[in-house]
Each structure stands twice: as C-alpha cells, then as structure tokens.
Amino acid sequence: MSRVVHEFTATVPRWAPYVTPVELDKATPEQRDAMQITPSSKGISPYVLTLAHDPESLKVRSPLFNTIMYGKGGLSSAERELGAVAASIVNSCVYCVAVHASRFNQLTKRPEVMETIFAGGVAAELEDHHQAIFDFAVKLSQSPPAAGPAEIAALRDIGLSEVEILDLILSASIFGWANRLMHTLGEPVRD
C-alpha cells in the first residue's frame, strides 16, 4: 500500500500520475521522437510518458530545461538547484523539491541548508549568499511575480554577475513551468 508524501524531503519518492500515461508500445513516431526513444532506451518514466500526450511541447521543453539547468558557465550548479528548490517550495511541488534538494546536497555536501528550508519554508533564514538567491527565487515564483529592485540589489551585493543573475532568473522560472506539470498532473508516493 503506497502513501502520498506531503512533507518536504530530500529522499526522492515515486511519482504517480493522475492521468493515464501513453503506452510505450502504442506511442506514435512523433511521441517516440519527443521522448527521445532510442533502440537502447528502457524504463521511460511515467512522467515522460504522461507528457508524451503533448509531444510538440515535450520535444522543445526537454532541451530547454536541460540547457537552463545543466548548461556550461555562469551560475554554479548548486545555486541553480537552490533556485529550483525555492520555486518548488512556493508551488508546493514535493516531488520537485525532493529531486533538486538531493542534487543540491550531492553538490554541496551541506544537507543542513535544505533542512533549514524544509523547516522554515519561504521564510527560511539562511547564510547571506544563499539567502539572497533563495529570496529572489521565492519572490519571482509568487503569483503574480513579486521580486523587485531590492532583491536584485541583494544578488549584486553577494557578487553575482549579470549572466549569473540571468541564470538564476531562468532556473527559477523553468521551475514555474516544471512545478505546474509535476505538482498538478500527479503526486509523490512511497511504496
């Protein structure tokens, strides 16, 4: 018997869709292309099979997501993950938080940062560098976006360059996209 996970965690749960995913052996050539199926592909995730219902979107979103989160140069990987977690906390995407908190922990070996965020939520109190990044991403993720000049000034104060701030805008914003899929089309469960 599986149970739905409601609390923030860095231990990645399983994602269970609310809609019926595309069946891999019934996928159209366009869906297979969007899922990047190759002869060696195995274990396509239920999330990707769910998004394959809209192959035109999936085909462009996957490279967009990967370029924003894993592109070379600019903001560090850990700081992009922090932006992703901040957005996911605002939108309460427990699954997204788990995946990206665990990546942050792997990169930084500092699990206490995420534990502080899980306990404090959007009001979490962090060291100055993390605080500026987290607060900007939280405010940009609100609806409507609420980031302002003070949050940008705080990012400049901690020494972020123009392109690093741009990378933070992009990593927080792409989770405005990812959260609205993952949190609304399915739920995190433990088996």
Partner 1 sequence: MILACPFGLLSRCGKDEMTLIETLAGVQAGTPLADAIAQRAEIMGLSQASHDAVLLPRDPGGLSHAERAALAARMAGWNDDPALVAHYRTLLAKAGEPPALAAIAAGEADASLTVEPRFAAIIRHADLLTRRTRDARKEDIAALIAAGVSEPDIVRLAELAAFVNYQARVIAGLRLLGAAA
| CA geometry: angle 136, 65, 70, nearest 5 deg | 80
Least distance (Å) between residue 65 CB and partner 1: 9
90 versus 99: smaller Cβ distance to partner 1: 90
User: What burial class does residue 59 get, using C-beta atoms within 10 Å of its C-beta: 0-12 exposed, 13-18 middle, 19+ buried?
Assistant: middle
63 versus 120: smaller Cβ distance to partner 1: 63
Q: Of how many residues is the chain composed? A: 191
Least distance (Å) between residue 129 CB and partner 1: 19
Q: Which residues bind partner 1 (CB under 8 A)?
A: 18-20, 50-51, 53-54, 56-57, 59-61, 63-64, 67-68, 71, 73-74, 90-93, 140-141, 143-145, 147-149, 151-153, 156, 161-163, 165-167, 169-170, 172-174, 176-181, 183-185, 187
Least distance (Å) between residue 110 CB and partner 1: 26
190 DSSP β-pair partners: 3
Which residue bears the tokens 């901690």? 158
Q: What is the DSSP code (8-state) at residue 17?
A: E
51 versus 98: smaller Cβ distance to partner 1: 51
Q: Measuring CA to CA, which residue among 178, 173, 181 is closest to residue 142? A: 173
66 versus 106: smaller Cβ distance to partner 1: 66
State the Cα–Cα distance between residues 29 and 36, nearest whole angstrom: 10
